[in-house]
Amino acid sequence: MTIDQDRFDALFPASCETGRRCIIRAVDVRKIYRMGKLETHALRGVTVDIVEGEYLSIMGPSGSGKSTLFNMIGGLAKPSSGKVYIDQVDIAHLDHNELAWLRCRKIGYVFQNYNLIQVMTCLENVMLPMSFAGLDGEEARDKAMYILKLVGLGGRPLHKPAELSGGQQQRCALARALANSPDIVLADEPTANLDVRTGGEMIELFARLRDELGVTIITATHDLKMLRRSDRILWIEDGRIVRSAKPGEVDFGSGEFH
Amino acid sequence: MATSSIQRQVRLPASVAFGVVMQGIRIRLGRALVTLMGVVLGIAFLMSILTGQTIRQGVAREAEARAEVKRMMSFLTAEIGPVEGRALGVVALGPLNDLEQRLLTELRNCKASRLQWSGPLPPGLPSGFVQPAAGRAVGQGAAALLVMGAGAPDDASWKEWLAGAEQPVAAVTRRTSRAPAGAICLAREWQPDELRARAEEARRLKFRTGWIIVISLLVSVIGISNAMLMSVTERFREIGTMKCLGALSQFIRQVFFIEAGLMGLIGSAAGCLFGVVFAAAAYSLSFGTSLVLASLSPGTLLLHSALCIGAGLVLSIVAAIYPAGVASRMVPATALRSTV
């Protein structure tokens, strides 16, 4: 799929604002869940640009639409209206095959409840997305082991998720997200189940990924340490982005924006 | 111009899906066994019905043959008196059928002294009892002359055979032999109304077993599809995760079909075994082991096993069509939300 860059820039001038590529762009994204006659507006028009290599944190009370926004910009669900561009491609135009490729190679997901495959070992969990990408055998094993070491789980590759602590499962989930060297890592509350020390390590790891590899990090979090390290913080409430700020502009004492 | 980097996801070989299936089965062995039991029970039911039918038919045939031999014996003894201690001449015109063999055994059981034999010797009888006749006069000194096998001997043969007989009684076991006047025919003559009744009975039996087989198939379908559906619903989250990691719908479908095929194959093989053993054991209680074993021919068993395994395999795969479709169409986000 080819795109006319001039037209794209004319359409979305913001993508050149920082001089970096806009890797995810959501334009007036709305999502309505219908349960029988009940309609729930999870997102009421969210527009956001996320540039390559950005470390973005999203805050918001539960039920504010954070997870829905995550699913939308991660290509896990389609918006009811509005557009989502990932790497300048409207994901509504992708068929299931291309979407699968996108989820496999482009984006690494770390879910709040890890969603590790319980019947597989840590190593197999990390190797699974590699096998979906066509990487198999020794090469995949080596790479998976390397990534597990990177997240500090090199010592227990053959344990099942049930045999690991919450923090270790979280690391395993992160290792799996990094399996295919994604451009974007989407992490939903990645430090929520970690103790302070491992949480700090996780944050450092995210920062390293951004600084050294240029990975775009998008997290939903309430962890102050994490918020401080991020480039930008979005506050989402009732399906709308109510504030966007740099960490310096936020008074972390009260948890409110200035 | 910038080229977007979105590509198409590679299609994985079936071996990868097979690996995932094997892993799932190995780890969730308990759950897999429950699924398997659904298949095993359904197919065991079907197989036991089929085997039971075979046994019943075999036993009925056996009982009829025994009754028929008794009748032939009583015909013979009515004519010549008890055979105990007496010799009989036998001419075998060709290979003997089951009834004729049984009649010979019955003669031995009734303590006939010996058979003066002409023609190919029958298997399974001691040589002291069956003695090749000296010359053509088979009936010499015999209580009666039995002519067995298919064929139409001429009058001269009959005369030679009966020369020097104790009493010139000839008996034929088949309708076709050109018997001399006064010869008795041991073969049964079926009356038209008897034939009609037998045909009617056979038709009724066929209908009844057909009906039972349909019901047992229904039981299998329900058991198997329920098992397959369960194994999908309990894995919604896992499927969603796999999709998030880049699994194609086709891959998910493959996983379910391979699993269904494996379950169907293993389950129906085990079900066949259980069905046969159960039916044989149950009928042994009423008919006795030897009669039941005798009525089970390996050929029929093999045919029924193939039928049942085929049915199990097809039913499992058909039962997986709907769940596999549901699983493969699932939107990843929805699958992850489910808390089953």
A255 is a domain residue: no
The C-alpha atoms of residue B190 and residue B179 are separated, in whole angstroms, by: 19
- Please count the residue pairs, one from chain A and one from chain B, whose beta carbons lie less than 8 angstroms apart: 112
Q: What is the C-alpha separation between B73 and B186, in angstroms, rounded? A: 8
Interface test with A, best of B1, B4, B6, B254 (most A CBs within 10 A): B6
CATH architecture of the domain with range B69-190: 3-Layer(aba) Sandwich (3.40)
Residues in B touching A101 (Cβ below 8 Å):
6-9, 246
Instruction: List chain B residues with CB under 8 Å of A88.
Output: 2, 4
CB contact at 8 A, B75 and B184: yes
pLDDT tens-digit readout, A160-182: 999 998 888 888 999 999 999 89
pLDDT tens digits for A213-231?
A: 889 999 988 888 888 889 9
Give the phi and the psi of residue B12 in degrees, each rounded to 5. -85, 145
Statement: residue B82 has pLDDT above 70: yes
Establish how many alpha carbons lie within 13 A of residue A147's alpha carbon, considering only the half-sphere containing its beta carbon.
27
How far is it, in rounded angstroms, from Cα A161 to Cα A172? 8
In terms of CA atoms, which chain B residue is nearest residue A177? B245
Residue A32 and residue A40 in contact, taking contact as beta carbons nearer than 8 Å: yes
Q: Do A115 and B244 touch (CB under 8 A)?
A: yes
Residue A2: pLDDT over 70: no
- Count CB neighbours of B111 within 10 A: 11
Instruction: Tell me the torsion sign for CA atoms A144, A146, A150, A151.
Output: positive
State the residue for tokens 């074993």: B293
pLDDT band, residue A19 (cuts 50/70/90): low
Q: Do B237 and A97 touch (CB under 8 A)?
A: no
| Predicted local distance difference test score (pLDDT) of residue A4 | 54
* End-to-end Cα spacing for chain B: 47
The answer to whether A127 and A155 have CB atoms below 8 angstroms apart is no
Question: What φ, ψ does residue B159 adopt, rounded to 5°?
Answer: -60, -45
Confidence of residue B271 (pLDDT cuts 50, 70, 90): very high
State the Cα–Cα distance between residues A115 and A60, nearest whole angstrom.
22
Range of the domain at A169: 5-249
Residue range B150-178: mean pLDDT, rounded: 76
Task: Say how far apart CA B324 and CA B330 lie, in whole Å.
Answer: 10
Nearest to A101 among B7, B28, B242 (CB): B7
- Tell me which of A8, A29, A70, A115 to substitute to probe the interface with B (most B C-beta atoms closer than 10 Å): A115
- Please give the tally of structural domains in chain A: 1
Q: Which ipTM did the prediction report?
A: 0.80
Confidence at residue A57, expressed as pLDDT on a 0 to 100 scale: 92
Average pLDDT over residues B119-126: 78
pLDDT at A129: 92
Instruction: Read off the CATH number of the domain in which A63 is found.
Output: 3.40.50.300
A154 in a structural domain: yes
* Residues of A whose CB is below 8 A from B247: 100, 132
The closest CB to that of A89, out of B4, B23, B247, belongs to B4
Q: Which residues contact B25 (CB under 8 A, 6 or more apart)?
A: B32, B259, B262
| Domain annotation covers residue A51 | yes
Of the two residues A256 and B88, the one the predictor is more confident about is B88
Instruction: Write out the residues of chain B at the interface with chain A, using a CB-CB cutoff of 8 A.
Output: 1-10, 12, 16, 23-24, 27-28, 237-238, 240-249, 251, 331-334, 336
For B85-98, write each residue's pLDDT tens digit. 888 888 888 888 88
pLDDT at residue B1 above 60? no
Q: How far apart are CA B73 and CA B82, in angstroms?
A: 10
* Contact criterion met (CB < 8 Å) for B246 and A101: yes
Segments of chain B assigned to CATH 3.40.50.720: 69-190
Question: pLDDT band at residue B269, thresholds of 50, 70 and 90?
Answer: very high
- A115 and B6 within 8 Å at the Cβ level: the answer is no
Q: For B245, which of A96, A106, A128 is closest by C-beta distance?
A: A128
| pLDDT band per the 50, 70, 90 thresholds, residue A257 | low
Beta bridge partners of A244: A234
- Contact (CB<8Å) A8/B2: yes
pTM comes to 0.73
Query: Taking CB atoms and an 8 Å limit, are B248 and A5 in contact across chains?
Result: no
Residue B105, both tokens? 């055994």
> Three-state DSSP class for A109?
strand
Please give the structure tokens belonging to residue A59. 């805050």
For chain A, what's the residue count?
258
Of A22-31, B3-12, B129-138, the poorest mean pLDDT is in: B3-12
Contacts of B232 (CB under 8 A, 6+ apart): B239, B256, B323, B324, B326, B327
Is the per-residue pLDDT at B26 higher than 60?
yes
Overall average pLDDT of the A18-43 stretch: 86
Tell me how many degrees the CA angle A21-A73-A18 measures, rounded to the nearest 5. 20
DSSP string, A33-82: EEETTEEEEEEEEEEEEEETT-EEEEE--TTSSHHHHHHHHTTSS--SEE
- Report CB contact under 8 Å: B333, A94: no
pLDDT tens figures, A186-209? 998 888 777 888 888 888 888 888
Does A258 reside within a domain?
Answer: no
Mean pLDDT over the full length of chain A: 84
Report the residue from A103, A120, A133 with minimal CB separation from B23: A120
The stretch B234-253 carries a mean pLDDT of: 86
**What residues in B contact A71, CB-CB < 8 Å?**
333
The Cα B204–Cα B210 span in angstroms is 10
Checking if the pLDDT of B331 tops 60, the result is yes
Residue A244 pLDDT > 50, yes or no?
yes
Whether A194 is covered by a domain: the verdict is: yes
What's residue B119's pLDDT?
83
β-partners of residue B185 are: B172
